[in-house]
């Protein structure tokens, strides 16, 4: 299936969980949130959240400056 991840087209196997995609992104230790189709998905839901064709996934990093 085709998705958009951080603005770029990406091909993933059907039934891929959001967590699998996040694990590929090397976000360990970073402060981030993940939105799918313009809605934040809470972290605890990532392992069972199944992505579907056409989903738009964006990683939002917290910015701490002021």
Q: Do 57 and 26 contact (CB within 8 A), yes or no?
A: no
Residues binding other proteins (CB under 8 A): 29-33, 35, 38-40, 42-44, 58, 60-66
CB 17 within 8 A of CB 49: yes
Which of 56, 60, 55, 63 minimizes the C-alpha distance to 43? 60
Q: How far is the CB of 2 from other proteins (least distance, A)?
A: 20
Q: Nearer to other proteins by C-beta: 53 or 63?
A: 63
Q: Give least dist CB 34 to other proteins, A.
A: 10
In angstroms, give the least distance from the CB of 49 to other proteins: 13
């Amino acid at each position: 299936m085709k998705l958009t991840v951080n603005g770029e087209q990406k091909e993933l196997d059907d039934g891929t969980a959001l967590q699998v995609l996040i694990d590929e992104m090397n976000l360990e230790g970073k402060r981030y949130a993940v939105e799918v189709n313009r809605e934040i998905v809470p972290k605890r839901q990532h392992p069972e959240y199944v992505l579907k064709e056409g989903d738009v996934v964006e990683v939002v990093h917290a910015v701490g400056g002021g």
